[in-house]
Structure 1
């Protein structure tokens, strides 16, 4: 598990929908500290996030289209038989959620970091 990638999803990743965020957390759990080489089949991810594989594939497309993830280096799984090779994903840890603090946030005691 990558603490850095997991913390990125928690603190800095732009907020996708809840299902896509769950898949992003699952990928972060499998990635290295630089966010690279998260290897998992949609079936494995589905088991991790308790949803069906078709929904996971939809979330992966959404995350890829939004720039949160991109296809990783397939050589990482080249040692596996071709029919058993999972997808490899890299998380873009450079993405940052924009801070939208307002004066009202300060007046409330800063309870809501993101408006």
Structure 2
């Protein structure tokens, strides 16, 4: 199979017979890159085109008369098929000779080379009049008028990034919040759900939540670690942590409910004389 031969066959406009063009395209499928040594049998072309063998032979004769194909080297067929009565006719497509193509391409390259040489000469002349120097890979080869060597901006940073800029944010962190802990949480948020963009405004709101959680007695670092560990996008109080005041209120409510269930709440004048054991039972 030759892409070059098939492309040439498709572009042919010298023959308008659609069936002949179909046979030419199928014949080009068996040619080499130069369009030669195509020797499929008429039966094979009949299968490829869906035509009868007689119609295929007629179209081959038409293509040969039009000069699009010609009989090629039959010795090539003999090298593949021993029996002479079974050898098909070898055809060559009338494609341009490869040497001609190569010569045309070479001439084009030479013209481009001459044009490029002219541009180089113009650039050289301009450089001599202006005194400009050439650069290679960002390095100034010859200083012009005492100019120093050009520096590489990437190797000379103008400033050192602050701690709050480690994760690319301009949000100012409080002194009590470790920058690395907050940076891990920001990286966790940005690497999470890609559908929700983690903006600086959202970061500031979460930082405000962390300030309130710290005021309520929660360790900021533990709050951050808890959200990362459980895959939470927000910041919440530490699970299982209850303040002593809340515990005391819950105990007082439980004792009051137990006292009411045994009737102590209905007789306030007996409170001084009644004692409640550990199981909230009245002891007289």
In the TM superposition, what whole-angstrom CA distance separates every residue of 1:34-90 from its partner, at most 9, and x where no partner exists?
000001111111111000000000000000000000001000111311121111000
Which of the residues 72, 89, 92 maps onto 1:90? Answer: 92
After TM superposition, the runs of 4+ consecutive aligned structure 1 residues lying more than 4 A away are: none
What's the CA shift for 1:10? 1.5
Greater gyration radius: 2
- 5 Å-filtered alignment, 1:1-115, equals 1-79=1-79, 80=81, 81-94=83-96
CA–CA separation in structure 1 for the residues paired with 2:12 and 2:61: 20
TM-score, normalised to structure 2, is 0.32
Q: List gaps (5 residues or longer) in structure 2.
A: 97-284
CA–CA separation in structure 2 for the residues paired with 1:70 and 1:12: 15
Q: List gaps (5 residues or longer) in structure 1.
A: 95-115
What's the CA shift for 1:14? 2.3
| C-alpha RMSD of the superposition | 1.2
Number of residue pairs matched?
94
1:71, 1:88 within 8 Å by CA — same for their partners in 2? Answer: yes
CA–CA separation in structure 1 for the residues paired with 2:36 and 2:56: 19
Residues 22 and 12 of structure 1, relative CA distance in 2, 3 Å threshold: closer
TM-score, normalised to structure 1, is 0.77
